[in-house]
């Protein structure tokens, strides 16, 4: 199992692209796409060799499918990893949207499925399924999507959550090398892992100790799916400088942030968000792996912090544990992508 290493970056959203600090979870979330800046960011990501940008989903954000389509018209090769939650639309309609995207930007849409991390947010969308049933529904949803992409003339499906008769969409999925889009599934629970290895190309998880990642990835890899890590990085020329940047993230209003994050975790029914919150007990999880911001900024703030060599070593450590894809972000959000691609990527290439 030696899938090549691939690097993705989280799309910058809203007014946070140049700032050195992270924002509060709720107050910061961008409501209005700053499209000119995002287009420039995507063009640079493309030049730097980023495989795809992740376009998140949530009530506080613009719709990722529509935003990604517009960003695709401003770029040539970059892919868009569009986040999606089942329960919001018919799987047939979703396949129709994905396929339409692919006819307009062939091979440039991939999908990041998430089951949803909070009951309250799901209720915004009129979705009141409890956590475990969301995975059962996700399984049905993915099954229908995959069969539509597999080119079956018509799809009949009768499950607990969906009943489709003679389902079809005329618009095909277009890509130079694939019949269906690459599908990622994020989530730390056992259910997420099982559905990911059964029905998707890659299981995505938050950062954790290398040992935990290795242990939990093994069954997924055995099943033939890849494992991807959503993790931050803070790369500077010296370790001292990088650690200072990391610690400075916490300075403004740390107490208020800690309270707001604790409230968020309490309202979440995601196992992995709770698990990572526990990890935040210690500042360092081994080597350059930093969990110092987890209790204030959330699970995605677990970071590789240090020199280009430190960060490259961290990446290769996870590589040993079976991880082949990384969805990265950092601070300042745009600048860190530049630093990573210029300083860290060449080290990884030479160590292959």
Partner 1 sequence: MGSTASRADARKRLRFHWSLSQAGNQFRRASQTEQMSGIPPVSAQLELCRSADDYEIDSLLMAIGFARPDPTVLAAALGRKTQRVKFMVACRPGLISPTSFVQQINTLSLLLEGRVHVNIVGGHTPRELHYYGDWLPREERYARLDEFLTVCRAFWAEERGEVNFSGTYFQVEGGRLKTPFSIGGRHGPEIYLGGNSEESAALAIRHADCLWRFAEPPERLAPAIAPVVRSGTEVGLLVSLIGRSTRDKAIQAARDLVERLGDSAQQAQLNFERHTDASAFRSTFALARSCDTGWATATLWTGAVPFLGPPAIALVGAAHEIADTLLEYRAIGVTQFLFTGWPDDEEMAFFGERIAPLVRERERVEAHAWRIRP
Is 263 a binding residue for partner 1 by CB under 8 A? The answer is no
**Does 143 sit near partner 1 (CB under 8 A)?**
no
- C-alpha 276/C-alpha 101 separation (Å) is 35
For the chain, how far is it from start to end, CA to CA, in angstroms? 15
Position 103 contacts partner 1 (CB under 8 A): yes
Cα–Cα dist 314/242, whole Å: 14
Where in 21-40 is the site for partner 1 (CB under 8 A)?
A: 29-33, 35
Q: Does 77 bind partner 1 (CB under 8 A)?
A: no
Q: Give the nearer residue to partner 1 in terms of CB position, either 94 or 331.
A: 94
For partner 1, how many residues bind (rule: CB under 8 A)? 53
70 interacts with partner 1 by CB under 8 A: yes
Out of 3, 40, 48, 88, point to the residue binding partner 1 (CB under 8 A).
88
Least distance between partner 1 and beta carbon 89 (Å): 4
DSSP-based three-state secondary structure for 241: helix
**Rounded CA separation 31/53 (Å):** 18
Q: Rule CB under 8 A: is residue 116 a binding residue for partner 1?
A: no
Contact range with partner 1 by CB under 8 A, out of 15-23, 68-76, 286-294, 306-314:
68-76
Min CB(154)–partner 1 separation in Å: 8
What whole-number distance in Å separates Cα of residue 142 and Cα of residue 159? 12
CA nearest 78: which of 89, 88, 69?
Answer: 69
User: Near partner 1 by CB under 8 A, which window of 167-175, 186-194, 245-253, 333-341?
Assistant: 167-175
Is residue 125 near partner 1 by the rule CB under 8 A? yes
* Residues whose CB is less than 8 angstroms from the CB of residue 206 and which lie 6 or more positions away in sequence, other chains included: 188, 229, 230, 231, 272, 273, 276, 299, 300, 302
Residues 6+ apart with CB under 8 A from 62: 13, 30, 31, 32, 33
Q: Which is nearer to partner 1, 9 or 141 (CB)?
A: 141
Residues 6+ apart with CB under 8 A from 110: 52, 79, 80, 81, 82, 181, 182, 183, 184
Binding residues for partner 1, per CB under 8 A?
29-33, 35, 59-63, 65-67, 69-70, 72-73, 87-93, 96-97, 99-101, 103-105, 120, 123-128, 154, 162-172, 174
């Amino acid at each position: 199992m030696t899938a090549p290493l691939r690097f993705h970056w989280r799309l910058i959203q809203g007014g946070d692209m140049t700032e050195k600090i992270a924002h509060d979870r709720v107050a910061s979330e961008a409501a209005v796409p700053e499209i000119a800046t995002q287009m420039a960011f995507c063009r640079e990501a493309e030049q730097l060799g980023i495989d795809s940008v992740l376009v998140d989903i949530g009530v506080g954000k613009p719709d990722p499918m529509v935003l990604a389509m517009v960003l695709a018209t401003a770029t040539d090769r970059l892919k868009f990893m569009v986040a999606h939650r089942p329960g919001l639309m018919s799987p047939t309609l979703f396949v129709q949207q994905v396929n339409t995207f692919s006819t307009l930007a062939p091979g440039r849409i991939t999908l990041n499925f998430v089951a949803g991390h909070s009951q309250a947010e799901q209720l915004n969308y009129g979705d009141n399924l409890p956590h475990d049933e969301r995975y059962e529904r996700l399984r049905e949803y993915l099954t229908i999507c995959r069969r539509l992409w597999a080119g079956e003339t018509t799809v009949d499906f009768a499950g607990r959550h969906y009943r489709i008769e003679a389902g079809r969409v005329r618009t095909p999925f277009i890509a130079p090398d694939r019949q269906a889009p690459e599908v990622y599934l994020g989530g730390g629970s056992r259910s997420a892992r099982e559905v990911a290895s059964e029905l998707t190309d890659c299981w995505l998880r938050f950062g954790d100790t290398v040992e935990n990642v290795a242990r939990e990835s093994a069954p997924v890899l055995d099943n033939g799916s890849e494992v991807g890590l959503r993790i931050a990085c803070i790369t500077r020329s010296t370790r001292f400088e990088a650690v200072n940047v990391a610690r400075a993230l916490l300075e403004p209003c740390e107490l208020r942030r800690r309270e707001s994050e604790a409230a968020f975790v309490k309202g979440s029914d995601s196992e992995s968000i709770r698990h990572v919150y526990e990890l935040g007990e210690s500042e360092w999880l081994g080597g350059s792996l930093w969990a110092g911001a987890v209790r204030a900024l959330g699970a995605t703030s677990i970071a590789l912090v240090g020199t280009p060599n430190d960060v490259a070593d961290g990446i290769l450590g996870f590589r040993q544990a079976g991880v082949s894809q990384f969805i990265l972000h950092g601070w300042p959000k745009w600048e860190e992508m530049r630093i990573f691609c210029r300083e860290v990527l060449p080290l990884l290439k030479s160590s292959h």
